[in-house]
């Protein structure tokens, strides 16, 4: 049984996966996607196969294209193309969450400044504008009134056309933190609070958000597992917020950093990820 680790950069998280493989006797082969050239029309292109692949590329576009190609060659990949391409686009993920009746913030999609302003009037200020593809809180903007809406949206009009898909969401009244829950297969395995840093309203640990262990509760487990199933099933980091009427899910992440969660929860997420990948190979 050989597991392939697909990466574009070896972050501390990927190094934890490599160490976990060594500790648990899992045969892990490294696939640097910077060096990969795959023949789409012929599997006999000299690229060694693996029984299953764990996809860890940071680049969303690279990861889904590699995953699609490997799946077409008959290789299981964690996460699947279906799940990864859905999660990597916040609009597609919101559609899945909403269809599965999972509590999620009210969200609009609009394509011009004028229609975005109408959406914002419907939602009320403050509201949040997000890029449909992006992570680490990048370009996630708090819009306080119609004046700032105009200037923020105007700035987006000079960016790549994907930034003109305006994904606009109600600002949830939450404590100064959110929740990240890790789901692997059918199970929630660990969760943390992420406390916003003093100089930002966003809680991403990549922006200085501070992780704290959060013992799993039945509500958190149930919602997170349902969110994971709604996007197609696999291994995810589900982002949730606390509201007066319970938890809402605002994002499902498909290639998740976990080093801070491992540090504060002592849950061996890299081992669980590898074991889950092994189980996909045996199917
Ligand atoms: N609707 C919202 N209300 C309040 N805070 C939000 C909302 N959406 C996002 N945030 C904050 O912004 C952060 C980044 O947003 P998120 O949708 O998770 O995008 P990213 O993919 O960049 O992490 C969240 O972790 C949360 O702290
Ligand atoms: Mg997030």
Question: One digit per residue, pLDDT tens: the chain, 283 residues?
Answer: 999 999 999 999 999 999 999 999 999 999 999 999 999 999 888 888 999 999 999 999 999 999 999 999 999 999 999 999 999 999 999 999 999 999 999 999 999 999 999 999 999 999 999 999 999 999 999 999 999 999 999 999 999 999 999 999 999 999 999 999 999 999 999 999 999 999 999 999 989 999 999 999 999 999 999 999 999 999 999 999 999 999 999 999 999 999 999 999 999 999 999 999 999 997 7
The minimum-distance atom of ligand 1 relative to the CA of 203 is 27
Q: Give, using CA atoms, the residue closest to atom 13 of ligand 1.
A: 202
Q: Kindly state the tokens that stand for 232.
A: 């197609």
Residue given tokens 């999660």 in the structure block? 87
Q: Residue 190 contacts by C-beta under 8 Å, 6 or more apart in sequence?
A: 181, 182, 216, 261, 265, 267, 269
Q: Give, using CA atoms, the residue closest to atom 14 of ligand 1.
A: 137
The preferred substitution site among 140, 196, 231 for testing ligand 1, maximizing ligand atoms within 8 Å of CB, is 140
Cβ atoms 229, 216 nearer than 8 A: no
Question: Is the pTM value of this prediction over 0.85?
Answer: yes
Neighbours of 76 (CB within 10 A): 17
Per-residue pLDDT tens for 65-87? Answer: 999 999 999 999 999 999 999 99
The preferred substitution site among 108, 178, 237, 247 for testing ligand 1, maximizing ligand atoms within 8 Å of CB, is 178
Per-residue pLDDT tens for 223-257? Answer: 999 999 999 999 999 999 999 999 999 999 999 99
Q: Kindly state the tokens that stand for 122.
A: 């419907």
257 within ligand 1 shell (Cβ under 6 A): no
177 within ligand 1 shell (Cβ under 6 A): no
Instruction: Please tell me the predicted confidence (pLDDT) of residue 167.
Output: 98
């Amino acid at each position: 049984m050989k597991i392939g680790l697909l990466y574009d950069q070896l972050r501390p998280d990927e190094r934890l996966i490599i160490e976990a493989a060594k500790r648990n006797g899992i045969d892990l082969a490294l696939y640097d996607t910077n060096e990969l050239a795959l023949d789409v029309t012929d599997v006999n292109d000299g690229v060694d196969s693996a029984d299953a692949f764990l996809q860890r590329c940071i680049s969303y576009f690279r990861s889904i294209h590699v995953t699609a190609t490997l799946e077409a060659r008959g290789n299981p990949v964690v996460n699947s193309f279906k799940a990864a391409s859905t999660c990597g686009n916040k609009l597609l993920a919101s559609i899945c969450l909403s269809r599965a009746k999972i509590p999620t913030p009210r969200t609009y999609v609009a394509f011009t400044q004028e229609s975005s302003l109408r959406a914002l009037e419907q939602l009320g200020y403050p509201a949040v504008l997000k890029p449909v593809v992006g992570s680490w809180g990048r370009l996630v903007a708090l819009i306080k009134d119609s004046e700032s809406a105009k200037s923020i949206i105007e700035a987006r009009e000079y960016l790549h056309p994907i930034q003109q898909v305006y994904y606009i969401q109600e600002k949830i009244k939450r404590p100064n933190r959110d929740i990240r829950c890790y789901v692997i297969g059918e199970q929630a395995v660990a969760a943390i609070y992420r406390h916003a840093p003093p100089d930002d309203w966003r809680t991403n640990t990549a922006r200085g958000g501070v992780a704290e262990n959060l013992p799993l509760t039945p509500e958190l487990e149930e919602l997170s597992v349902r969110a994971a199933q709604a996007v197609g099933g696999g291994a995810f980091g589900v982002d949730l917020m606390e509201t007066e009427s319970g938890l809402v899910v605002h994002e499902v992440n498909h290639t998740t950093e976990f080093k801070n969660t491992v540090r504060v929860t002592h849950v061996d997420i890299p081992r669980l990820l590898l074991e889950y990948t092994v189980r996909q190979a045996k199917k």
